[in-house]
Amino acid sequence: STGCHFSRLPVQIAIVKHAGEVDGKSTAAHLPVLAPDHVKIYTFPSIPACDPSDVLLIFPGENAQPLEKLWEMTVQNGHTTGPCVICAKKHVSIPWKTLLFIDSTWKQTKRIYLDAKIKGLPCAVLEGGHSAFWRPQRGKPSGWLATAEAVHLAVTQLLALQGCTGHVDDLLFFFKFFYAKISSRYRQLPSQA
């Protein structure tokens, strides 16, 4: 046994990254390593086929609704139950097969967000997040998350909405590792007076 543990997720994760986004700076690159059966990264303009009944865009766009509100509206229109891949208990099934995320700097998101394949998708905004990203974008609210944080928060909120007490904290393994490494490095530097 190699000791490797791969995360199981209750949904597929599709991440569309801007071609100008540097892989070494992106937290999205960590996710397919941690959940290879559930996370796929596409480089824009390559975007997977998106059926609005199966795909939910997670993005703070102009028509975005809070994830909880979209859940309530969708589940209200009929829902099924099934075994949870996280805890094996029976829960309300998540109404979307895929969550779609945009991975780019905030300046670069508009072109991807306005693409015809994405434009008609239901869009959810995540509430309650606070970024711990070590390279925040100046002038942006702390609720604007790095991609790994957004994926973790979205899946965590979906699990809570369906009544699952399980967690997917393993998705943040590399994020936490780099955060600790960078924080430690900055603590070792002499302070600038």
How would residue 116 be classed by pLDDT, with cut points 50, 70 and 90?
very high
Lowest-pLDDT range, 47-56, 109-118, 128-137, 168-177? 128-137
For residues 126 and 121, what is the distance between their CA atoms, to the nearest angstrom?
16
Which domains are seen in the chain, by residue range?
12-188 (3.40.1280)
Q: What CA dihedral angle connects 5, 89, 150 and 25, to 10 degrees?
A: 10
Q: Cβ–Cβ contacts within 10 Å for residue 60, how many?
A: 18
DSSP string, 36-84: TTTEEEEETT------TTTEEEES--TT-EEHHHHHHHHHHT---EEE-
Sequential DSSP letters for 152-189: HHHHHHHHHHTT-----GGGGHHHHHHHHHHHHHHHHS
pLDDT band, residue 108 (cuts 50/70/90): confident
Distance CA 64, CA 52 (A): 14
167 Cβ neighbours under 8 A, 6+ residues apart: 86, 156, 159
Q: What integer pLDDT is reported at residue 173 of this predicted model?
A: 76
Phi first, then psi: give them for residue 66, nearest 5 degrees: -55, 140
Tokens standing for 73?
A: 């509206």
For the stretch 124-169, pLDDT in tens is 999 876 665 555 556 655 456 888 889 999 999 999 999 998 888 8
Q: What pLDDT shows up at residue 132?
A: 52
Instruction: Measure the CA–CA gap between 9 and 30, rounded to whole angstroms.
Output: 15
Tokens of 60: 């703070």
- 59-101 pLDDT per residue, tens: 988 889 999 999 999 888 777 888 998 998 999 999 999 999 9
